[in-house]
Structure 1
Amino acid sequence: MAPTSPTLIGSVRRALVLLELVAEHHELTAKRLARMAGLPLATTYHLLRTLVHDGHLRNERGAFRLGPAAPRLVGQGRRHGARLPEWLRLLATDLDAPVSYAVMEDGEVELVLSVDGPDRPAVQEWAEYRTTAHAHALGQCLLAQLDAGARRAYLARRPVSRLTPRTVPDEEALMRRLAGIRRGAPVVEREEYVLGTVCGAVPIAVGGVRSAVGFSLPVAEEDRLEETALRLRERLERALTAHAFTVLT
């Protein structure tokens, strides 16, 4: 389902650069932040909106300062919730399965972080992750959050291909499957990305970011796939209600 070592996408790094600059200078405008970080102004505004929405920054008449959630990044205020890596490790233990977190960024499916299960590693990325979203549960979960036009545009760039005999056979079959996924419902796939492995994923809606958390199981444990997907959904709903982790993108 994902590489075994944690992987940060570029936008997470850029967001952290903005946070570090504000922490160092106490107060900065968006234009100055863009210049100091070497980022396009539009990208800077997008990241700042997310950081403000999630409480890491606050906007005071166009000047950005650290927000109330910023102390969590350095381990303070831990009673309010865990950071994403720690929370994923706890989730992997709870589900007894490797777990991964991914986002749809700039029209691409990007893996943010992957955590091994207690006694089993995550599935190796044998086919490039972003080009095979049609074949794994996380990718299908993210594509299901797009409208039909955006799905077609994505598949025009990243066409459906058969990775295993069980992979969805063509674009029309995939479009029908995605159209049938209820909003917020778990998504499961059985040996579509790699033989011997089944996967599930659940969407997350935070701050307008399209993201999802998924898990993988050996096919010998396929009988607990649906139950584990529902348990993941329950854990996510509980975590989001309690603000147990924050999405950065």
Structure 2
Amino acid sequence: MGDQTGPGPTESVRQDLRLLEAAGAHREGASARRLAQEAGLSEVTAGRLLRELARDGYLHELDDGAYTLRERDGLSTAVDGRALSEHIRPLLSSLRDGLSAAVYLTLYDEGEIRIMEIVDSPNAPRVDLWVSFQDAGHATALGKSVLRELDGEARANYLSRHSLADLTPRTITSREELLRQLDSAPAGPLSLDRGEYARGTTCAAAPVYNGDQVGAVGISFRSDRMYRTTEVRARLLESALRVTRRLTLPGY
């Protein structure tokens, strides 16, 4: 994919929190320059994050360019059906429509990679889930994205409980080869599977976080479809950050 290094979702959310805390100290609003200084960020980085936070409803941009906290309804950080449908699903739908591909959200919960949401359409059908994602973490971009983010102990625990089943001729069935691929992946947060879970299907995924809980947002599409990799990367990373914000900062 030609990934480029840059701040991942967790670092961006930490920066978000610093800006939100700074904005909370100025009930009448504060300029981007002042908020950048108080958050310890460059004006360029702060300006970009402030615009994104305003777009996503965390801040209100005043006519003079100052920012204030927006009044928000409280929302539990638990990922329940209501939170997904009201706060996460619209982001996944936007990604589906932007890339014309089915979109998936997974979270690592109690030692398993669980699908929390699938957003598809007649023009962007989901992959045939012929094997549970819980048992196919080694063969999916979503699973590999989660496994890549786990620490060594958690990863070893998962692999000790799941066999690396041979799902297609492209599936990695060697634990050593899977670990080598996870640890030697190019810098950047995207993971891929090219026909490893289902013949003729390519998937790409990026990590998301619900506090300390890791997950992934990903897309699937027919392998014979042509995609601009730079567009896929940009849209996936933007969506991953926005989902992480919704999960981590829901009621700020």
Tell me which interval the TM-score lies in, with the shorter structure as reference length: 0.5 to 0.7
CA offset digits 1:167-210 (Å, max 9, x no partner): 11311100111112467611111000000100000001331111
Identify unmatched segments of 5+ residues in structure 2. Answer: 1-70, 78-85
The partner residue of 1:204 within 198, 204, 208 is 208
**Other-structure match for 2:118:** 114
2:106 matches 1:102 = yes
Q: What amino acid maps onto 1:178 in structure 2?
A: L
2:179 matches 1:151 = no
The partner residue of 2:177 within 156, 173, 179 is 173
**Other-structure match for 2:193:** 189
RMSD: 3.0
Matched residues in 2 for 1:71 and 1:152: separation?
34
Matched residues in 1 for 2:121 and 2:92: separation?
10
Matched residues in 2 for 1:179 and 1:220: separation?
28
Q: Give the superposition deviation at 1:236.
A: 2.8
Counterpart contact for 2:75–2:250, Cα < 8 Å? no
Matched residues in 1 for 2:177 and 2:153: separation?
16
Secondary structure of the residue aligned to 1:144 is helix
Matched residues in 2 for 1:244 and 1:205: separation?
7
- Counting only pairs closer than 5 Å after superposition, residues 233-244 of structure 1 correspond to structure 2 as 233-237=237-241, 240=244
Secondary structure of the residue aligned to 2:225 is helix
Matched residues in 2 for 1:105 and 1:71: separation?
20
Matched residues in 1 for 2:88 and 2:104: separation?
11
Matched residues in 1 for 2:94 and 2:173: separation?
36
- In the superposition, relative to structure 1, how do residues 230 and 177 fare at CA in structure 2: closer, same or farther (>3 Å)? farther
Counterpart contact for 2:166–2:173, Cα < 8 Å? yes
The partner residue of 2:95 within 91, 98, 105 is 91
Q: What amino acid maps onto 2:177 in structure 1?
A: A
Q: Give the superposition deviation at 1:102.
A: 0.4
The alignment covers a number of residue pairs equal to 173
Q: Give the superposition deviation at 1:159.
A: 1.5
Secondary structure of the residue aligned to 1:216 is strand
Secondary structure of the residue aligned to 1:119 is coil
- In the superposition, relative to structure 1, how do residues 110 and 241 fare at CA in structure 2: closer, same or farther (>3 Å)? closer
- In the superposition, relative to structure 1, how do residues 98 and 225 fare at CA in structure 2: closer, same or farther (>3 Å)? farther
TM-score by length of 2: 0.61
Q: What amino acid maps onto 1:217 in structure 2?
A: F
Q: What amino acid maps onto 1:126 in structure 2?
A: W
Q: Give the superposition deviation at 1:147.
A: 1.6
| % same residue | 32
- In the superposition, relative to structure 1, how do residues 230 and 162 fare at CA in structure 2: closer, same or farther (>3 Å)? farther
2:133 matches 1:129 = yes
Matched residues in 1 for 2:184 and 2:119: separation?
29
Counterpart contact for 2:87–2:246, Cα < 8 Å? no
**Other-structure match for 1:217:** 221
2:167 matches 1:163 = yes
Matched residues in 1 for 2:138 and 2:207: separation?
15
Secondary structure of the residue aligned to 1:94 is helix
Matched residues in 1 for 2:230 and 2:193: separation?
10
CA offset digits 1:112-143 (Å, max 9, x no partner): 00000461211121012101110001011111
Q: Give the superposition deviation at 1:165.
A: 0.5
